[in-house]
Structure 1
Amino acid sequence: MRNLFLLFFLPIFLSCKNDVFPKPKAYLSLTYAEKTYESLKLKRPYTFKVLQNTTIIDDENNWLTIKYPKLKASIDITYRPVNNNIKELLTEAEKLVFKHTAKAEQIIPKDFINEEKKVFGSIYEITGNAASHIQFHVTDSTKNFIKGSLYFYAKPNYDSILPALNYIKEDILRLVETLEWKE
């Protein structure tokens, strides 16, 4: 019996010489192309800087879609002229933002004001598994109104898309900061 014990269990005890250490935390390493911006080339009542490696899709009524094919995302831009209906346009834009309340963990508003260029608006960052993670609207409050929404073409999983979201968020901030109305 003793020999049987030594035969089966002794190799187990002798084979475990190295200590086992937990592996260090791993982080997802994503690389994105260096950003270069250019002015929007389409004739619109507005202009702004857009990332060069995006695809611009021209839609009717001065609307457009800025596609990020590698990130499977797009920024949908809608334009509406202001005809004594600024309150209605602002209410509609905010309703679209707060439609995401059911899935959102948090909605963070940031106001934007550029008196020199007559660009006034808000950017809403929506955290959580919502359908759209950034929405914004800008206006000159007398003639022009733009609404924009960022969408990913994937099931909403906030943690997974966060690096791409942060990458595109910079582009949206650049868009709003460089926006100018054409007379």
Structure 2
Amino acid sequence: MFELVLMTVFDESGGMGVWTRCWCKLSVDQLVYWRYPEDEIEAAASSSSSAAAPISRLDLRRVVAPWAVQAPRKICVRANTLYMRSLVAVNPKMLLIDTTSSSVGEQAPTTGSVTAASILLRASPDYKWMEQRHLICADSAAEMESWLKQLNLALEVLQRWMPEHFARLARYDSGLTFTQSVAASLASRLKQW
């Protein structure tokens, strides 16, 4: 299963939201983003390190319920936007080490400081799990519906292929709350997970 299309992906830079037009490729277990279609073609044709690397990727094996849905208005008011959440287990020290603070449990200030809080990443109270929100905007309602079907089909296939993994992820997700700030400076370093 491969789908290719230009879509607008929400990202952040220094704690500020940025919508970026990207060339998106859906494969069996990941959604990969390039800046331009030519970058993906160049990367596929070349094995050299100078080929354009993807600017980001979403590992579908980490997506949790409700899988891919139309973004609720309280999360995003932009029309035709898809919403997904992913979870990843992390080393708590990784989330807490920042250039401006290194004390365990210290939250990233949101205003009036060098360190801003991420708007896409939140951590569990013990800093062992991180939730990332994903917002992807289609050009039309029909395209959004098509992508919702394709993404949920890919997630369904993965769930049938890895039932224990998704059951464990669902158990973790049901018992966690994501209330802790994560420094926005970490968001750019974590784009490839």
Q: Please, what TM-score do these two structures have when normalized by structure 1? A: 0.27
> Which structure carries more relative contact order (alpha carbon 8 Å, separation 6+)?
2
